[in-house]
Structure 1
């Protein structure tokens, strides 16, 4: 290789090294996202550096750090790491005003820069629910409104009735860099809403770990509804009976009032009233009648009636004009003709006795039917036999008696000739 060729090769080698160094001296940065109030770490790196300084600048082009030298007096900004290949700074207690484009500069000839965008998420405030009337009245129309402020980007609001999600109407308004979000829920209040919890939840990227929510429990006042529950399906003489007046209302309708046939209870020794219960210690026929339970609050009054018919134990149960709340099963003892004096009747009843008696009746009925059928068949056969042998039979005397003076002559005349007349004569001793 001559001197000229060696010189050209050396120049190309130096040029390649310079190009590689220049390309390796380009700063590298990344965008950063941080929640308001958090800490942002900004890092700038270079792969090759010939002792050239690195610098960070804020969106207002103010120098924050030049190498390891702090240029801006802000106690929130601190140096994390400084070398020829890296410059890392931190910004604590980040606010929305810190958001923007940050620049890392490498002071080569020419100066090389890289830009990183700092995104600050606005944390939505805890939501508040307005429009709730305590207490609400059954039939009211109310509007619940949930509002949250300070979110960036705009938050999402969701409504829940107990654990089930319900849909509301959303409204978003910008306020500077943040958003105010409202959601309304229309309700037609009834008694089923009493005690129901309505919850408003805030969904936002800045609340992935600790979601915000607010809950209000509805209190609904409504008029009472009354129902009477009896302890016996078939009340009989001498039995113990309890009637319970079940009333549901808000405020609670307490106490309740019991009456019989529109008047006061007649026998307070056997009819005991305790709270909502009316107890008969020993039933008799004088207890028959219509019992009424009445309860009320400031929104109204409700009542229910129970027709009591006390049955005789040994007799078949007569139909009731007003059946009790539960179906009345048939009385097996009445069908079997049992008596109250029989200890097996008063102590316990055999549920299979009615079925056995029914089986015996069916057997007897079948036997009777067979007997009747056989008798009818015999009568028919005998009638047909007699019909076939029916006719008029005349004696010999009758056949020739028209012109005969005596019996012997009649017999001879009946034969139509006088031959052997002597042989046909009848003699009587």
Structure 2
């Protein structure tokens, strides 16, 4: 035997309209009452009993009683009672289920990503029923996260170490829900990693010469990017002709006074970095193949109409020639003096007088040239 009252369960999206119906068997004009899940009477034989304008009696016949509920909310969910009072009380319950589709999830930064530290991101689907399923993706690969919540607010949190190379990494949080008319809702997120600056001075190419212009560029990285770049000269002030334009440092007409080490510094809230460039000035002209000229810094060379090396060579040759001439002169003088010496020893004759030695023989007729030894 069919029941005197029959109902059907109803499922509706939040904000939609639900229709709750009671089918009657062999209705004889008895009293029909519709009650909400809190057992408050909505209608008594078609007459409104609860002042909630969202409920409307749309049909009341001997076979069917129908009530509509507009702008359904989750709080309306539950069992609605259809009661028929005859000799006995008959009732059935129509279950109203409210679905809440998930919106595009939001990404919350729980912990700032700093180089060498850990990043903590939470993907949140604030309202969904049944609970949305959240999934983290990075470069097309899933990242495991910890999901919390079963209804309404659902979140998924990921934690991972970060380096500066992770800056700009593409992450996404995907929300899946059975009520969606599309497979999923996606929130894209670009990871930002903060790190201390790095500084590198880009030197000029080739060898600088006296009178040339020096141009140095300071290459700076960092997040956030340092806004203030400082140029200085170690243990000295910057030259008067120095010009700074953005990241570029220039000196026109180089001279010896510009020798020294120049420093480029950059700073952000995560650290300080610097790089230096040493300018060397060689007075002597050195050949380009000299190993010292392959120093990573520039070398400034002075130029003279006559290379100093040539002058030094000429002077050395001249001194050597003078010394040789002196040696030959002294040697010749000694040889000439020795040619006047005789090997005949002088002594006393038998009378005790000096014996004379004639260099040109014993013949006095050859002249009176005589030299006493």
Q: Normalization by structure 1: what TM-score?
A: 0.48
Q: How many residues align?
A: 287
Structure 1 residue matching 2:229: 3-state secondary structure: coil
Residues 121-164 of structure 1 deviation map (CA, whole Å, 9 limit, x = unaligned)? 2577986836335xx64322353445566643223334467x87
Partner of 1:402: none
- For 2:200, which of 209, 212, 227 is the aligned residue? 227
Shift of 1:306: 4.0
Structure 2 partner of 1:41: 19
Q: How far did residue 227 of structure 1 move?
A: 1.0
Superposition map of 1:286-325 within 5 A: 291-297=262-268, 299-306=270-277, 317-318=288-289, 320-323=293-296
Q: Name the residue aligned to 2:351.
A: none
In the alignment, the residues of structure 1 paired with residue 266 and residue 147 of structure 2 have an alpha-carbon distance, to the nearest angstrom, of: 46
Counterpart Cα distance in 2 of 1:223 and 1:305? 18
Note if contact 2:197-2:220 (Cα within 8 Å) is conserved in structure 1: yes
Moved more, 206-215 or 91-100: 206-215
Q: How does 1:48-127 map to 2 (within 5 A)?
A: 57-58=34-35, 69-70=46-47, 72-75=49-52, 76-83=54-61, 87-102=65-80, 116-122=94-100
Q: Deviations over 1:188-220 (max 9, x none)?
A: 244456677977665545676996979797573
Q: 2:110 matched to which residue of 1?
A: 131
Unaligned stretches of 5+ residues in structure 1? 1-21, 326-429
Residue matched to 1:273 = 244
Task: Using the TM superposition, give the Cα deviation of residue 244 of structure 1 relative to its aligned residue in structure 2, in angstroms.
Answer: 1.0
> Quick one: distance in 2 between partners of 1:301 and 1:63?
73
SS in 2 for 1:224: strand
What do the CA deviations read for 1:35-89 (whole angstroms, capped 9, x no partner)? 344431235679x99998996745678775577x136425232023445665432
User: Which whole-Å CA distance do the structure 2 matches of 1:275 and 1:61 have between them?
Assistant: 76
Structure 2 distance, partners of 1:204, 1:64, is 33
Deviation, structure 1 residue 186: 0.9
> What is the match of residue 334 of structure 2?
none
The correspondence of residues 371-390 of structure 1 with structure 2, limited to 5 A, is: none
Q: Is the 8 A contact 1:103 1:114 kept in 2?
A: yes
Give 1:243 shift: 0.9
Structure number with the bigger relative contact order (C-alpha 8 A, sep ≥ 6) is: 2
Structure 1 166/228 Cα, relative in aligned 2: closer, same or farther at 3 Å?
farther
CA separation of 1:240/1:85 partners in 2, compared to 1, >3 Å: closer, same or farther?
farther
Where in structure 2 are there 5+ consecutive unaligned residues?
299-373
Partners of 1:228 and 1:293 within 8 A in 2:
yes
Counterpart CA distance in 1 for 2:50 and 2:57 is 12
TM-score by length of 2: 0.53
1:257 Cα deviation (Å)?
2.6
Report the equivalent of 1:171: 147
CA distance in 2: counterparts of 1:158 and 1:295, whole angstroms: 40
User: CA deviation digits over 1:328-387, x for unaligned, max 9?
Assistant: xxxxxxxxxxxxxxxxxxxxxxxxxxxxxxxxxxxxxxxxxxxxxxxxxxxxxxxxxxxx
Q: Distance in 2 between matches of 1:214 and 1:52?
A: 61
Residues 105, 193 of structure 1: alpha-carbon distance in 2 compared, 3 angstrom cutoff: same
How far does residue 118 in structure 1 lie from its aligned partner after superposition? 2.0
153, 166, 183: which one aligns with 2:156: 183
RMSD: 5.4
1:21-40 matches, within 5 Å, as: 31-40=9-18
Shift in Å, 1:34:
1.9
- SS of aligned partner of 1:154: coil
Q: Could you tell me how far 1:168 is from its partner in structure 2?
A: 4.5
Pairwise CA distance, 1:225: 0.8
CA contact (8 A) 1:28 1:45 kept: yes
